[in-house]
Chains A and B, each alone.
Chain A
């Protein structure tokens, strides 16, 4: 641009220079994120995949040789199919529970909370003010054998007299549900908040009962939130090991625990093979899920 003449520049001149400038700004803005991802995501990922194919007989001290050991994968799946399946089942149950608890909660915050809306939102994210680990440890106390929950359940006959809650699948799923509920509520809140309330009125005006209006208008239009919420809940739950470790025992091992144990034992190739398999399975499941939910265009 030519300084003082800029204000009198013709429209053709400005229209040819501005978009080019904008494009370069766009690339510049992408740069920090791209560098970060390259350094801290792409590099470790490549390393992880490479490690999964190393010679399993090596060690951290002695070093590993790249032997393209595909056997790491078959071996890992042979040994760890059970925690794999359990991990996905627990994560699936926790995700469904999060949806069942989170949808009404988000709906109530958007449509019924009125002036309490912001306070309720703060309460939803309030658990993040303390660490994930501390909160899960707190659940260990809540569900402890001599805690009030177990004694209440025993009185109600929900638990046998010599039964317990800790070290059960119930405790692990409850912990997962608790820990990942905000990740379900927030996207649901966002998509319901964006919903034009007049569409619900229009549905009522067009002979839809409140239940039909919900099924035909509110729910389909909040599907982006449902999909985002279930993904944000399911993916981290499926790889979680803290809940199983603190609230379960060896009978509740999830795949995350197996990977963690293998890494701690120094079996890097096996642990990496399990990690890559977990990642691949999750990507496949998510892809199928998004296709089935029919929300590609809404996402």
Chain B
């Protein structure tokens, strides 16, 4: 991969970045299983106190990365630093890092109280009752202290796992798909809960997930991982609005990608020839200087104008509506362009305009500041949810 994974604020470059007091730093971290590199020379800095998400499809190396930070997996190469201290080779039980496991891994033979007290007891603390009580009230499980894990629901077990890890006041809390086993409604509720707890305790959270919505809801910074490397890192808004690779464009939300060529420059804009239509895109949203590119526009950024409506912004030319799906808050249109490609357009049902019908002819417009231009060498289907 030759992609530039350095993010706008330079956080991914360990050479120029001075780590803060409690920052978690990964330097060329690599894990090979035989010939296969699960994690390939990963550089990453997670600032202290951040809610950081490692987002990617299964098998992208995110869990392996997390396990190397926890000390449960030995790196093949590279370093893990926490607050400037090299912990690459430290035993898991000697790291100020705790994990909320995917399956919770609660001790079935111990009560909830003893599960939560486990870490404190191992550190030789005898006055565990106070902290355990506080922690159980933080996760609203005071009444369950005497029960065994099997007597609790999935959501309650999840909160116990969180309390059991947080009570140790780790410098970094690692969460491995913590909400994966919960149903949708409970997951939404726990997302808000986790965010509330993170803001309350101020501990650095590193959250591994394959759910882009979960990552965007909770994290202040997301690193999108694919095939052992970080594709792009930034705030949810930044990643969504200005993706730098086709993988990010497709994995976070949906994108229309149109085959296009760069035809020149005009001031701060790059002029792109998209199947005959000349469109202008701000230069900071263009990843390549010349040649063939993918012009990307999110479906909700596409405006379908009746032909002849006054012209503003860029136009991709006329199209015919082939499918209309009414989903309540919005209407999703599928339109066929003159060159045969089908594009998606989502429009909010504000009531200001009537809903269009199949076979209507429309003009496809968008604002150049909402589009992005990507390297054509990348697979246009990368990161598309196949389900």
Q: Which residues of A contact B (CB under 8 A)?
A: 196, 198-199, 201-209, 212-213, 216-217, 220-221, 298
Q: How far is the CA of A168 from the CA of B243 in the complex (A)?
A: 82
Q: By the criterion CB–CB under 8 Å, are B122 and A208 in contact?
A: yes
Report the interface size class on chain B: 20 to 34
Q: By the criterion CB–CB under 8 Å, are A198 and B123 in contact?
A: no
The answer, yes or no, to whether B89 is at the interface (CB within 8 Å) is: no
Q: How far is the CB of A207 from chain B (nearest CB, A)?
A: 4
Chain B residue at minimal CB-CB distance from A295 = B109
Q: By the criterion CB–CB under 8 Å, are A204 and B118 in contact?
A: no
Q: Chain B residues with Cβ under 8 A from A205's Cβ?
A: 70-72, 92-93, 97-99, 165
- 26 of the cross-chain contacts (CB-CB < 8 Å) are A196-B103, A198-B101, A198-B103, A199-B107, A202-B101, A202-B107, A203-B107, A203-B118, A204-B91, A204-B92, A205-B72, A205-B92, A206-B122, A206-B164, A207-B94, A207-B119, A207-B168, A208-B93, A208-B122, A209-B93, A209-B122, A212-B122, A213-B93, A220-B109, A221-B108, A298-B109
A interface SS class? helix
Contact with A along B52-78 (1 / 0, CB 8 A): 000000000000000000111000000
Q: By the criterion CB–CB under 8 Å, are A208 and B118 in contact?
A: yes
The answer, yes or no, to whether B355 is at the interface (CB within 8 Å) is: no
Q: How far is the CB of A264 from chain B (nearest CB, A)?
A: 49
Q: Chain B residues with Cβ under 8 A from A217's Cβ?
A: 107
Q: Chain A residues with Cβ under 8 A from B70's Cβ?
A: 205
Q: Chain B residues with Cβ under 8 A from A209's Cβ?
A: 91, 93, 122
Q: How far is the CA of A98 from the CA of B119 in the complex (A)?
A: 33
Partner of A207, one of B93, B103, B108, B109: B93
Q: Chain B residues with Cβ under 8 A from A198's Cβ?
A: 101, 103, 105
Q: By the criterion CB–CB under 8 Å, are A201 and B105 in contact?
A: yes
Q: By the criterion CB–CB under 8 Å, are B93 and A204 in contact?
A: yes
Q: How far is the CB of A198 from chain B (nearest CB, A)?
A: 4
Q: How far is the CA of A201 from the CA of B99 in the complex (A)?
A: 10
- Number of A-B residue pairs, CB cutoff 8 Å, is 62
Q: By the criterion CB–CB under 8 Å, are A206 and B98 in contact?
A: yes
Q: By the criterion CB–CB under 8 Å, are A204 and B72 in contact?
A: yes
Q: Which residues of B contact A (CB under 8 A)?
A: 70-72, 91-94, 97-99, 101, 103, 105-109, 118-119, 122-123, 164-165, 168
Q: By the criterion CB–CB under 8 Å, are A202 and B105 in contact?
A: yes
Q: Chain A residues with Cβ under 8 A from B109's Cβ?
A: 220-221, 298
18 further A-B contacts with Cβ under 8 Å, apart from A205-B92, A221-B109, A298-B109, are: A196-B103, A199-B107, A201-B105, A202-B99, A202-B107, A204-B71, A204-B91, A204-B93, A205-B98, A206-B118, A206-B119, A206-B164, A207-B119, A208-B118, A209-B91, A209-B93, A216-B122, A221-B108
Tell me which of B94, B97, B107, B168 has the highest count of chain A C-beta atoms within 10 A of its own C-beta: B107
Q: How far is the CA of A201 from the CA of B176 in the complex (A)?
A: 13
Q: By the criterion CB–CB under 8 Å, are B168 and A206 in contact?
A: yes
Q: Considering the complex of A and B, which 6 residue pairs feature the smallest CB-CB distances, nearest first?
A: A202-B105, A206-B119, A207-B122, A198-B105, A204-B92, A208-B122
Q: Chain A residues with Cβ under 8 A from B108's Cβ?
A: 199, 221
Q: Chain B residues with Cβ under 8 A from A212's Cβ?
A: 122
Chain B residue at minimal CB-CB distance from A205 = B99
Chain A residue at minimal CB-CB distance from B70 = A205
Q: Chain B residues with Cβ under 8 A from A202's Cβ?
A: 99, 101, 105-107
Q: How far is the CA of A116 from the CA of B221 in the complex (A)?
A: 45
Q: How far is the CA of A199 from the CA of B71 in the complex (A)?
A: 15
Q: How far is the CB of B83 from chain A (nearest CB, A)?
A: 18
Q: How far is the CB of B151 from chain A (nearest CB, A)?
A: 12
Chain B residue at minimal CB-CB distance from A204 = B92
Q: Chain A residues with Cβ under 8 A from B98's Cβ?
A: 205-206
Q: Chain B residues with Cβ under 8 A from A199's Cβ?
A: 105, 107-108
Chain B residue at minimal CB-CB distance from A298 = B109
Q: How far is the CA of A221 from the CA of B109 in the complex (A)?
A: 7
Chain A residue at minimal CB-CB distance from B116 = A206
Q: How far is the CA of A198 from the CA of B105 in the complex (A)?
A: 6
Q: Chain A residues with Cβ under 8 A from B122's Cβ?
A: 206-209, 212, 216
Q: How far is the CB of B335 from chain A (nearest CB, A)?
A: 46
Q: How far is the CA of A207 from the CA of B168 in the complex (A)?
A: 9
Q: Chain B residues with Cβ under 8 A from A204's Cβ?
A: 71-72, 91-93
A207-B123 in contact given A198-B105, A201-B72, A221-B109 (Cβ < 8 Å):
yes
Q: How far is the CA of A216 from the CA of B107 in the complex (A)?
A: 10
Chain A residue at minimal CB-CB distance from B108 = A221
Q: How far is the CB of A107 from chain B (nearest CB, A)?
A: 18
Q: How far is the CA of A213 from the CA of B118 in the complex (A)?
A: 10
Q: By the criterion CB–CB under 8 Å, are A196 and B168 in contact?
A: no
Q: How far is the CB of A36 from chain B (nearest CB, A)?
A: 35
Q: How far is the CB of A192 from chain B (nearest CB, A)?
A: 14
Tell me which of B92, B97, B98, B99 has the highest count of chain A C-beta atoms within 10 A of its own C-beta: B92
